[in-house]
Amino acid sequence: MTDNKNLVALQQQIEADITQLFAAEDEGLQYTLAAAKEAGLPQIQISPIQGKFLQFLAAACQARKILEIGSLAGYSGIWLARSLPASGRLITLEVNPRHAEVVSNSFARAGVDNRAGVRVGKALDLLPQLASEAPFDLVFIDADKQPYPQYLDWALRLTRPGSIIVADNCIRGGTALHESKDEATAGLFEYNRRIASDPRLVSLALPMDDDFTDGYAIAVVRS
């Protein structure tokens, strides 16, 4: 084996061991993955470690209201909803009605439908309707990549000092850390550049997925 192969094998072992120790999936999460596969949805949900990290961040900011942009089958939504107190609320936005139907079933099966609901439509059409439900304590961005900078504008409008804004896929093998001709990648880079330099935020990109080649960019709204 080359050194690179040894390194990747070690990274994968570390990820598997951390997952087993800290981020085991319960029946509701496993059901959601099976239902997503059955419905032919793409397998692009966050990893268990990323799910546990969302719960960590929600606990750190004492989240009672959470907004998610991009639901897919509801996998990340269940991790988020489970971090909420009984009176808390998760709103997740999803453009694809077929995905949203899987989400509703998954939330019911996981027992979080009392505090989590999916809204169907383009995020940029739905976000202006959320002002009366703001401020959100945590916003998780994981939909189409090109508009990430616009999602950031909305996240800043809909949060408070101390809120946390998380965005997935902000490393993408390193491509999201540079200028790009690809529109999706350019959106991710513009997002990173803005959160890195916005004086209202304390921000960091964190490799934690896909053998540490992808991950979240996290930002805390300063007090």
Give contact residues for Mg ion (rule: CB under 5 A). Answer: 142, 168-169
Q: Interaction with ligand DHB in 37-66: which residues (CB under 6 A)?
A: 44
Single out the residue of 142, 152, 156, 221 in contact with ligand DHB (rule: CB under 6 A).
142
Beta strands 89-94 and 136-141 are unpaired
The window from 3-11, 41-49, 128-136, 149-157 that contacts ligand SAH (CB under 6 A) reads 41-49
139 beta partners: 67, 165
d(CA 208, CA 166): 13
Interacting residues of 220 by C-beta distance below 8 A, sequence separation 6+: 61, 162, 163, 164, 165, 201, 202, 203
**DSSP letter, residue 58:** H
Residue closer to ligand DHB (CB basis): 91 or 176: 176
The window from 3-11, 138-146, 175-183, 189-197 that contacts ligand SAH (CB under 6 A) reads 138-146
- Cβ of residue 50: shortest distance to ligand DHB, in angstroms? 9
Helix ranges (DSSP H) in 71-165: 75-82, 97-109, 123-126, 148-157
- Cβ of residue 168: shortest distance to Mg ion, in angstroms? 4
Choose the contact partner of 94 out of ligand SAH, ligand DHB, Mg ion, none; CB within 5 to 8 A by kind: ligand SAH
- Cβ of residue 69: shortest distance to ligand DHB, in angstroms? 11
Residue closer to Mg ion (CB basis): 158 or 188: 188
144 binds ligand SAH (CB under 6 A): yes
Residue at 149: amino acid letter? P
Residue 211, φ and ψ in degrees, nearest 5: 55, 40
- Cβ of residue 111: shortest distance to ligand SAH, in angstroms? 17
| 61-to-13, 65, 71, 160, 164 alpha-carbon distances in Å | 31, 10, 22, 11, 7
- Contact letters (x/-) for ligand DHB, 2-41, by CB under 6 A? ----------------------------------------
Tokens of 195: 């959160």
**DSSP letter, residue 201:** E
Q: Interaction with ligand SAH in 187-216: which residues (CB under 6 A)?
A: none
d(CA 49, CA 75): 12
Binding site for ligand SAH (CB under 6 A): 44-46, 70-72, 75-76, 93-96, 99, 122-123, 142-144
